[in-house]
Structure formats: structure tokens, C-alpha cells
Structure 1
Amino acid sequence: MLGEIVESFEDTVVIEKPVKKELEITRYLLKYRDRPVLFRDVDGWVVAGNVWSTRERIAGYLGTERDNLPHFIAEAMENPEPWKTVERAPFTKNSTGDFSLRELPIPKYYPKDGGQYFTSAMVIARDEKGFVNTSFHRIMVTDEKTGTIRLVPRHLYAMWNARAERGEELDVRIIVGSPVHLLLAGATSVPYGVSELEIASAMSRMAFGKPLEVFNMNGIPVPVETEFVFEAKILPELDREGPFVDITGTYDHIREQPVVVFERMYHVDEPVFHALLPGGYEHYMLMGLPKEPQIYRSVKQVVPRVHGVRLTEGGAMWLHAIVSITKQHDGDGKNAILAAFAGHPSLKHVVVVDEDVNIYDDREVEWAIATRFQADRDLVVVPNARGSSLDPSSEKSLTTKWGIDATKPLDRKEEFERASV
């Protein structure tokens, strides 16, 4: 389970002294941005953060290589596998309706946050035709057993809206402390009807040789490797949600969002609460990594030889990307830029480089720009394009996208070769 995983990492920082869930926990997570942090006492609970804050740690746990992560995720997205239903789950050992969200180790991360926030929570719902959706949703605690849940207009929103229009509630399971393959699957963008649990099951088979195991909770499958599970309902009513620090590290504004009522809590023996720092490296990884296969697939449709895609930490692994290709024709670099924007519509800036540039080394990428790029011929600018609502510099989600073609001209390649011994 999560506690054993965190303690198995050699670079884990263990905080033995009591730590407050309001703001104090954030200071540690910011201090050790790329190291797992295990808090032994947050209001009497054990809490872990920054667990999956590096590509190398995620890849190592899944039994693959850093550079292969986009392909690993892509394979699971393209070959979803049925999950396996089992008769028991460790989290059913502890069940109660007598709990208060206020007393749980749900942090208030930043001073202007609207309140305590679930940030690593995933919501599992089943529609009337049997389709199961699993997705990340932040939830702001508003009372002992209520919160407001941010629903972007995607799959869970469609499920909720269909019920809300009839004045009905949507029955859901809210889970915290999930394995990384489920977290990555929950952040993928797939068509309605493709279950993220099946993508997680494919990753589980690839990494561990077995499908994802789930426990049936009144018709809704819940992964057995989960620390906390809440039976809940999303109501037709709306309430204020926010402010909240999102992936860019800036405050998102207040919205009217659906109310969620928590009815019952389940947890494993000695549970570990997963605190996902908004705007932290772990947030970057879990949200950004599943987008890299989309960019890769889109670019590969126009340039046959694509060597790698990286959403950069400097761009919050959401707004900036680097793509490595082998050009076959003049103009391939610019086509790759446009395809990257199509593959991840929130993308604002992309640099395309040759295969001899290490996309994971920012200095090498900057070197390529310095030596292979001229703005008057290699810059692509797309004004007034639909971008990300998370970009505070955009206006009504409209942004100017720009790409840098830092690849060598085909007719002068020798002039751009780096000296080596």
C-alpha cells in the first residue's frame, strides 16, 4: 500500500514531529519538491506527498525507463484491458458514517485557498448504460460532510448533468491514496465509453503481470489498492468553489460548482492520506505525463520519425513542450509544431529539435535554439487560438501560441554538427 511504497524509496524524507494541515504541510512539500515526504503526524493521521514527483521514480515503479513512459502510457490507452472483480478489499475493514471532513488531514495548502482541499481525489461513477468513468476532481470542503466539486465539461460532468436536469443525485465513490497507474489513467483524455479503469488495468498487466483488481461497491467498481474510499452523492445544487491554486501555481477564480455530500468513509488499517501539492512537481507529472502520448501521436501523423516528447517543468508540464524529430523534408519542423498544438490544445509554446538534442536537458534545448534558430524564418505564431483557462495571461481562454523550429536545415546539416571526440 501507499505507506510501504513511500518508505521503500531511498530519498524519502520522514517528518516525525506533528505538522499542521493548514499551510505548514505545504512548506515541507515545497522544500523537498522532488522528494517523497512522509508525515507521521498530521492531526493524528499519516500523510504522504511528492510521492510521484519525478519521471524516474514513476518509471522505476512501473518497471520501465524514463524515456519510455509516453509509449508505456500510450500502449495502455490503445489497448485497454478488463479489470478483475474480487471478493475482498482491505479498505472495507474500517467503515463508519461517524466522521468529519474537518477532522481528516485534508490540507489547506495556500493562504487564499477557499478552504481545505481534496487534491488527489479521484471520482468513480457509473452511467445508466454501465459505463464507468474515473477522473481527478478537486473538492473544497465546506462543512463536516459536504464540499463543492470542480467539474469541467467532460465525462463526469455529462453524467452529473443528465441527473441534475431531472433533479436527481449522482451516486459516486471518491477515492484517495491510489496506485500511480490508476492516477495516470485517471488523467488521460479518452472518448466517452472508454473506461480509465481499463487503461489502469492494462498498465497493471504491463507493470505487474496482472489486471487491476476492483471491489464492487453497490454497482460501482473500486480499485482494491486504495487507502480511503467515500460513498458520496453529487447533488443538482451549486455552491461557491475556490479560490484554488492550480497547476500553474497561480490562483484559479471562484465558480459555482456542484455540491457533493459524503455519506460513509472506508479506509485500510493504518491508512496514508495522499496530499497532492497544487502546482508541485507531482501535480505536473500526474497531469502532464498522460498528455505526452497525445502530442506524440499527433506529431507522428505528419512526421514519421518522432523520437520523444516532453512537457517541461518550467511550463508546469501543461503549457510548454519539446519535441524531437528526424526531418525528412524541409518544413517538417513547422508541421510538427502545428501537430503538437493539435495534440494538446492547452499547449502554448513548443520547441522542435533534432534527434541529437536531449529533450530532458534544458541547456541542450537552449543550445539548439541558440545555434539552429532564426526568428524571421523559424518562428511560428498562431494568434487568437483557443488555449488553457489555467493560463492567467490568456483572455477568455484565447492565447497566442508560438513554436520554435530549432532543427538543422537539410541542405546545410554539416554546418550545424557539434564537435565531439
Structure 2
Amino acid sequence: MLKEIIGRFKDELVVIEEPVSRELEITKFLLRYRDRPILFRDVEGWEVVGNLWSTRERIARFLNTDRRGLLFLLTDAIENPRTYRVVEDAPFLKNVEKADLEALPVPKFYSKDGGRYFTSAMVIAKRDDFVNVSFHRMMVLDSERAAIRLVPRHLYAMWKEKAEMGEELDVRIVVGNPVHLLLAGATSVAYGVSELEIASAISEIAFGKPLEVVDVGGIPVPVESEFVFEARILPELTDEGPFVDITGTYDHVRKQPIVVFERMYHVDDPIFHVLLPGGYEHYMLMGLPKEPQIYASVKRVVPKVHGVRLTEGGCMWLHAVVSITKQHEGDGKNAILAAFAGHPSLKRVIVVDEDVDIYDDREVEWAIATRFQPDRDLIIVPNARGSSLDPSGEDGLTAKWGIDATKPLKGKEKFERASL
């Protein structure tokens, strides 16, 4: 439960005792303490937490690893999903009531937002034996309806199949989950691979036990959920947006499906999780699951890959640093191209040697300063498909650039750093 998780980070925790409005005011605190967890004691009568997973170190600490080990933990879990355990009861089943979105502490983050938004919510849907879990922002329309943003992936396909027959898609919406569930829900895996099984793999690696779920009307729901909503996604569309995305810039208004919230379950004294759009927690939860994709892609062309980091300055989406051991000249350039293939939204990749700490921006810049020559080591790929989240791109196209800041194999002794 979130209360126990928050207690583990009390050395970093900021507690706001005074009442805070869900309309814009909550954002001021989330921006003031961007990398520290904040517990709000009173947001419209509810307890709320934000910035909970805003650093790699905190996430790694919770998962019993370190920031370097986090990449390999996630890689293992994505490549080797594990079965979850079905149980008969869950703490959130104790409290059941009609859903009322107007009564919940769902925030309006910025003045130009289209409305109040669920940002940490994950949607669970089932088709035959396949269970899909994914993040979807939802703009509150009234006490029981919201507009849900569906990108063309698995939940969209499940909804579209129903909508074309004039039917609704039955879903469960969860808010307030531990980070292994959140990271799993942000992965991009093949249709048919359940994110619940990835979460279960993370749980087994980190804690030695599988994920537990309980059946809620035919759909498995993680036991460790603060809030659970029974809901239906309708065939009807409405305006959704504008809303701030990971780059801190506004996404445009588009027609999106309507979701109807019917029943709400919650634990005793629940804590509502809010995710600041464009904040560090947003970066972590969206970016960390992409690092294993880049790692796997680069490893296919360069055998020794030591680490991958999507950088905070690049919103953990557009810029990456990769550490390799070169075996042949040209490995650095091949690593750059493989990284672009592993995460097509990437705009810039820097490849460094294993003696450079990819988590230290000064070390990375030092490698560029001392091991890189633009006329020899720079790759530019014009008019490539990039990220729709990059406001500098046009029609989905961008120029990508890669920096090979690795030492040449011949004469590399002159690039060695002094050490004791």
C-alpha cells in the first residue's frame, strides 16, 4: 500500500499539512520540490501523493537494486514475464460506492489544461486470455464521465473492435500502485504479452514473490491498488485536451472516446497518486521502460553494452547516452544507429566508453570534449520518423544526430585519464 511505501522514504518526504486546492495549487508544490515525494494531507478532504517515483535512486532502492542494476532488472522482466497469482481478497474490496469524479482530488495542473486530469491511472482490459495494462490520461467531464486518450496500441485496438460493433469495452481503472506495476504498465510489448506478467517478474526479482491479483467482475486487478474503478469505454467521441505532455509543451485537442465510471473501490484511508505532467516522475515512469529496448537493440550489434540512460534534460524520451566496450572501429556508430532503431522517438544519442559514468552529465561532456571530433564522429540522419512529442519536428519528421565519443582503438593510451 502507498502508506507503507511512503513511510520507506520519510527521510526525503515533504508533508503539506494545510488544505491545498486541486485547482492549480497542487502544481506549485510539485514544481517546488520536483525530486522529492510530497504527501498532501488535505486535497478536497483526501490525502494525495505526488513526485513519489521522481528519481532513479528511489525507484532502485524500493526494488532492492541500484540505478545501474535497474536496467538489467527491467530487461530480465520484459524478456522473461512470469505468471501472477490469483487470490480471493484485496484491501480495496472493503469499501465500495458509486463513483463520483467531482468528489475526487483529480487536479487541474496548468491554467490552459482542458480540465481536471487523471494522470497516474492505468486501464486494465481483457480479451479472451489476454490482459492488457496501460497508462491513459483522462480528462474529467462530469461526475461520472471522462475523455480518455487512446494512442493506437493495444487498448485502442480492443476498444476499436468493440466500437465498430457499436459495443462498449469493459475495463478496470486503477490509481495508486507500487512502482513495479507502474513500470510494467508503461512498457511497449507485443500484443498477447500481459503487463501483469511483467510486473510479476519484477516483483519476483525484487521481492521474491509474484504479483497478486483479484478478480473484479471477470478482470484481474492488482491487490496493491489504492483505488479501483469499474468503467466502460463508449464508442462515442468527445474533445480531449489541451494537456501538457512529457516535454512540458501542450498536446493539441483531438476527438477521443468517452469512459463512464460506475463503481469505485478503495482501501481504508486511501492515498490518491497524482503524476505531474512533464515532471521528473513522468520522465521516470515513461522513460525507464524504454531503456531496455535500447539496450537490447544495441547489444545485437555491439556485444559489450554496459548501460543505457535516457537523460532528464532530454525529458527521458528524446536524448540517450549509451556505454559500450569497442571491439572494432565503427562500433560506436553502429551503436548509435541501433539505439535509434530501439527507440524510434530518440533524437540524439551519445555513445561513450565503459570508463565514463553515463549518470554524470559532466563526465559525458568530458568524453565529448576529449574524444569527439565533429567532422569524424558525428552522424546526422535528416527527415527521419521521430517523436510526435517534439514540438520542433514537422509532420512527425525530425533530424537525428549521434555523437561517437569513444576512444579510437589505435593510440587509445593518449585518451586514458590519470588515476591513482
TM-score where L is the length of structure 1: 0.99
Q: Partners in 2 of 1:328 and 1:368 — Cα distance?
A: 18
Displacement of 1:130: 2.0
Where do 1:138-177 residues align within 5 Å?
138-177=137-176
Deviations 1:278-320 (A, max 9, x none): 1111111111000000000100000011110000000000000
Where do 1:255-334 residues align within 5 Å?
255-334=254-333
> Percent identity over the alignment?
75
Q: Partners in 1 of 2:112 and 2:411 — Cα distance?
A: 54
1:163 is matched by which residue type in structure 2?
Answer: K
**In the alignment, does 2:382 pair up with 1:383?**
yes
Q: Partners in 2 of 1:130 and 1:233 — Cα distance?
A: 19
Displacement of 1:100: 2.1
SS in structure 2 opposite 1:341? helix
1:6 is matched by which residue type in structure 2?
Answer: I
Match of 1:107 in 2: 107
Displacement of 1:366: 0.5
Deviations 1:244-293 (A, max 9, x none): 10111111111100110001111000000001111111111111000000
**In the alignment, does 2:89 pair up with 1:88?**
yes
Match of 1:192 in 2: 191
Q: Partners in 2 of 1:124 and 1:102 — Cα distance?
A: 22
Q: Partners in 1 of 2:178 and 2:164 — Cα distance?
A: 34
Match of 1:43 in 2: 44
Q: Partners in 1 of 2:264 and 2:35 — Cα distance?
A: 31
Q: Partners in 1 of 2:125 and 2:100 — Cα distance?
A: 23
Displacement of 1:400: 0.5
Displacement of 1:387: 0.7
1:418 is matched by which residue type in structure 2?
Answer: R
1:354 is matched by which residue type in structure 2?
Answer: D
SS in structure 2 opposite 1:410? coil
Q: Partners in 2 of 1:398 and 1:119 — Cα distance?
A: 27
Match of 1:218 in 2: 217
Where do 1:6-45 residues align within 5 Å?
6-9=6-9, 10-45=11-46
Match of 1:125 in 2: 125
Q: Partners in 1 of 2:410 and 2:207 — Cα distance?
A: 48
Runs of at least 4 residues off by over 3 Å: none
2:73 is matched by which residue type in structure 1?
Answer: F
Displacement of 1:8: 2.4
Displacement of 1:420: 2.2
Deviations 1:198-221 (A, max 9, x none): 000111111111111001011100
Over the aligned positions, Cα root-mean-square deviation in angstroms equals: 0.7
Q: Partners in 2 of 1:207 and 1:373 — Cα distance?
A: 39
Q: Partners in 2 of 1:167 and 1:376 — Cα distance?
A: 58
Displacement of 1:68: 0.8
1:363 is matched by which residue type in structure 2?
Answer: R
Q: Partners in 2 of 1:313 and 1:23 — Cα distance?
A: 24
Displacement of 1:7: 2.6
Match of 2:347 in 1: 348
Deviations 1:85-128 (A, max 9, x none): 1111111111111x42122000001111100000000000001x
Q: Partners in 2 of 1:255 and 1:70 — Cα distance?
A: 35
SS in structure 2 opposite 1:308? strand
Q: Partners in 2 of 1:126 and 1:91 — Cα distance?
A: 20
SS in structure 2 opposite 1:234? strand
1:292 is matched by which residue type in structure 2?
Answer: E
Note the residue ranges of structure 1 that are not aligned, 5 or more in a row. Answer: none
Q: Partners in 1 of 2:411 and 2:25 — Cα distance?
A: 56
2:239 is matched by which residue type in structure 1?
Answer: R
Q: Partners in 2 of 1:267 and 1:48 — Cα distance?
A: 15
TM-score where L is the length of structure 2: 0.99
